[in-house]
Amino acid sequence: MIMINQKISCKNNFLKTYINNIIRISLLILLFQIIPAAFAQTFSDVLQLEKKGETEKSLKILYQLSDKTADEKELFNVLDKIISLDSNIIRVINTEERKIPLISDNVKRTILIKKTALLMQLAGMIDRAGDFYESAYNTNPVEGNLPLLLDSAVLNLETGNIEKSIYLADFVIDKSKKNEEKQKGLLIIAYISLIQGDQLKAEKIFSGILDEKSGEINASAVYKISLMYNLENLKNKAKDIIIRNYGKKTVDELDIYLYPVTPLVLFENTGRIKTEKEYYAFIQTGVYNSEINASNMMKKIASAGLSGIIREYFKEGTKYYKVLVPAKTESDAENINMILKHNSIESFMIFD
C-alpha cells in the first residue's frame, strides 16, 4: 500500500513538473513574441507621446532607439525627430555626428547633415557649420543642393576664410543653371571685392546684378550693402528698383539696416523682396512704446542672423512699435522660432 502511494505521489510530481515546464516554455515563447512587437511600436509611441505634449518621454525613447535600432529607415526617422524635438542643441549635434555615418542612403544622409549644419550655426559653431553644409552637398552633389555651398560660402566669409568663400561662390556661379543662385554667388564675390578695397570691381558687379532682367531679386541686399559703405550711386539705383517694384514703404523698412551688420545677416535673406501679403506669417518678438527699445530688439534679432521689421500702430492715442520677423514659409517660421528660442528671445506667431 505504501509503495502504491509513493508511485502515485511520484507520478503526480512528474506531472506537475511537466506541466510547469510546459507553462514556462509557453511564457518564454510568448515573451519573445511580445518584446519585438513592443520594440517595433516604440516609434509610434513617440508620435503618440508627442501629440500629448510629453516631449521628455518622447526624447528618452528616441535616444534609446538611436542606440538600439538596426533598421536604417527607422534610424533616419529617429534622428530626424530628435532634431525637431530636442532643444538641447549640443546634445543633438553630438548624437547626429555619431549616428549620421550609419545612414547609407545619400539623400537621407544629406538631409540630416544639412539640418545638423543649421544647429551648429545656431550654436555659434560657424566653422563647423560651413564644413557641414559643404559636406551635405558633397554627399549628394546634385544641382538642387548647390545652395548648400552658398550657405557655406557665407559662413566662411563670416569667419574670415575669404579664399574658401570665393572658391565656393565661383563654383556655384559656374555650375548652377539658376539665375538666382548665380546672382547670390556674384553678390558674395562683389562684397568680398568691396571689403578688400577694390570698390570699382565691386560696384561693377553690383550694378550688373541690378541691370539683370530680374534685378529686383537682390536689390534689397545691394541697397543694404551700399548703405553700409556709402556707395551713393549704387544705393540710389537699388532704391529706384525697390520703389518701382514694391513701393517706398519697403525702402523705409530696409533703412533699419543703417547699423553695422555681418555677412551672415546680409546674405541670410537674399532673394526677391516679398510684400507683406505674400508672407506665410510674422514672428512677433515684442511691442514697445519706445522706438529706442524697439530698435534695440531689432539689433538683438540681427545679431541672431535674422531680418526684422518695425510696424507702428496707435492704440487709444498712444503710438506703439511692434517688432516682427517675416517668415516666407511654414518651415521658415519653424526655423526662425528655433533661432529666437536659442537666443533667449520670446516670440509667437501672428498671421495678420
One domain, residues 24 and 73: no
| Residue among 180, 139, 134 at smallest CA distance from 154 | 134
- Among 104, 123, 144, the domain boundary falls at 104
The two beta strands, 281-288 and 309-315, are unpaired
d(Cα 78, Cα 65) in Å, to the nearest integer? Answer: 7
For residue 285, the domain's CATH number is 3.30.70.1070
Q: Provide the pLDDT for residue 20.
A: 62
One domain, residues 286 and 349: yes
45, part of any domain: yes
- Residue 260 pLDDT more than 70? no
Q: pLDDT per residue over 51-87, tens digit each?
A: 677 778 888 888 888 888 888 988 998 899 888 888 8
170, part of any domain: no
- Among 88, 104, 120, the domain boundary falls at 104
231, part of any domain: no
157, part of any domain: no
Q: pLDDT per residue over 112-145, tens digit each?
A: 999 999 888 878 888 999 999 999 999 999 999 9
CB 289 within 8 A of CB 318: yes
- Among 89, 104, 119, the domain boundary falls at 104
* Widest pairwise Cα distance in the chain: 123
SS3 of residue 9 by DSSP: helix
Domain that holds residue 325: 279-352
284, part of any domain: yes
Which of 219-235 are b and which e, b meaning 16 or more Cβ less than 10 Å from the residue's Cβ? bbbbbbbbbbeebeebb
236, part of any domain: no
Highest mean pLDDT among 85-99, 209-223, 267-281: 85-99
d(Cα 277, Cα 352) in Å, to the nearest integer? Answer: 9
- Residue 40 pLDDT more than 50? no
Look up the pTM and report it. Answer: 0.68
287, part of any domain: yes
- pLDDT average, residue stretch 329-352: 79
Domains contained in the chain, number: 3
One domain, residues 35 and 45: no
CB 119 within 8 A of CB 103: no
d(Cα 319, Cα 287) in Å, to the nearest integer? Answer: 10
Phi, psi angle pair for 10, to nearest 5°: -65, -40
One domain, residues 54 and 10: no
One domain, residues 289 and 346: yes
What's the length of the chain? 352
